[in-house]
Structure 1
Amino acid sequence: MTPRKVSRVTLILVLSVLLALAAEAPARSGFSVKQAQVRPEAGQLVLNAGVDFAFSEPVLEALDHGVPLTLVFHVQVRRTKAWMWEDSLVDEQWRYAIRYRPLSERYEVYRLPGTQGHDFVTRDAAIRALGELTDQALIGLDRLDPEEDYELQIKVFLDIEELPLPLRPMAYLKPSWKLSSGWTKWPLNR
């Protein structure tokens, strides 16, 4: 075989493998914080944020079989040029749950530690509502130095520790259960 034919055969093999991998690629899963807006209200800053949840198929299957899922919204307010070891002004974790109620055939979204929330007829509507943080008190304006710049950092993740015990080993081992947005940073406009 000439070197030219070897190159063509190699190229065809590589393209075939790439096409096969693309055809077998799983649907996109993961979380992303799409927007975060902060506004002053009654002496404090209030947060509105939107999160896009793209759950993996195993997670959605568990939800549809009645396994409650706990989502953690980790929120921090820091000075923009803060040193790594410097404390955050705000470092909170807001916990929300979504679950399916088979008897009523409804999905429910609620903030923990409570158990009462809002009911939804479809899973998609419940997931959309879960991703809408509205009017969350963030920090008092009196705690912010007018001479400093601050940033808001948000990370959202599925809390594997809150899954039922028999499901946890699989969730620890399979990447389809390790769902997180990673940290996103937003300037804190006052």
Structure 2
Amino acid sequence: MSGGHATRSRRALALSLVFSLLTWAILSSALAGDDFEFRQSQIRLEDGIYYLDATMDSAFSEEALEALNNGVPLTIIIHLQIRRVNAWLWEDSLLDRQMRYAIRYKPLSERYEVYRLPGTSGRGFETREAAIRALGELQNVQLIAQDKLDEEEEYEIQIKVFLDIEELPLPLRPMAYLKPSWKLSSGWSKWPLSP
């Protein structure tokens, strides 16, 4: 009898702990806010192809900046989609692409570098602020051919940016998964795209 009571108590404690952790995770992600934010965008049509230029503000957490200053590269993923306005959830996107960029500090040269992955070299900068600013400049991003769009439909570009925790060194990952200061994301931004 007492063994059954102890088992129920342990289960209740375990469920309570799981519920508390889930509540903490939901609240911390809700309080985090946007860490990457798009300030402006321009979509242009050239030779039958749509291109995107956009500027993004990047607000890395203190922990991420400290890691960067200690030589840990930070990788961001820019997820682009083009979808019909009011498309069903299961409907395929006309475009679904992820672009990966990295920023790193090179202690020997005392310079910061921003580069597109895959790749190991890119543009160098004297200051961290200049490198972060360059990381947020998207230019001449090819989107889709105009003839792939139906003139009778309305479309939108959806874009989201987030820090790729999987690219952090293995010893940093467990902490990055648990701490809200590493869950850096913009949420989805949407802009209309007219055929």
**Which of the five TM-score ranges fits, normalised by the shorter chain?**
0.7 to 0.9
Give unpaired runs (5+ residues) of structure 2.
1-31
In structure 1, what is the Cα distance between the partners aligned to 2:97 and 2:174? 27
Aligned to 1:71: 76
Q: Which of 40, 43, 47 is equivalent to 2:45?
A: 40
One-letter code aligned to 1:188: L
Aligned to 1:157: 162
- Identity percentage over the alignment? 69
Q: Which whole-Å deviations, capped at 9, do the CAs of 1:137-184 have from their partners, x for residues lacking one?
A: 011111111111100000000000000001101101110000000011
Q: Which of 112, 117, 126 is equivalent to 1:112?
A: 117
Tell me the C-alpha RMSD between the 2 structures.
Answer: 1.4
Q: TM-score, normalised by structure 2?
A: 0.81
Q: Which of 27, 36, 39 is equivalent to 1:31?
A: 36
Aligned to 1:143: 148
- SS of the residue 1:187 aligns to: strand
Aligned to 1:174: 179
- SS of the residue 1:151 aligns to: strand
- SS of the residue 1:95 aligns to: strand
Aligned to 1:103: 108
Q: Which whole-Å deviations, capped at 9, do the CAs of 1:31-73 have from their partners, x for residues lacking one?
A: 1122222101122100111111011100000000000000000
Q: Which whole-Å deviations, capped at 9, do the CAs of 1:108-149 have from their partners, x for residues lacking one?
A: 000000112100000000000000000010111111111111
Q: Find runs of 4+ consecutive structure 1 residues off by over 3 angstroms.
A: none
One-letter code aligned to 1:126: A
Q: TM-score, normalised by structure 1?
A: 0.83
Number of residue equivalences: 164
Q: Which whole-Å deviations, capped at 9, do the CAs of 1:67-110 have from their partners, x for residues lacking one?
A: 00000000000011211111000000000000000000000000
Q: Structure 1 residues 28, 123: closer, same or farther in 2, change over 3 A? A: farther
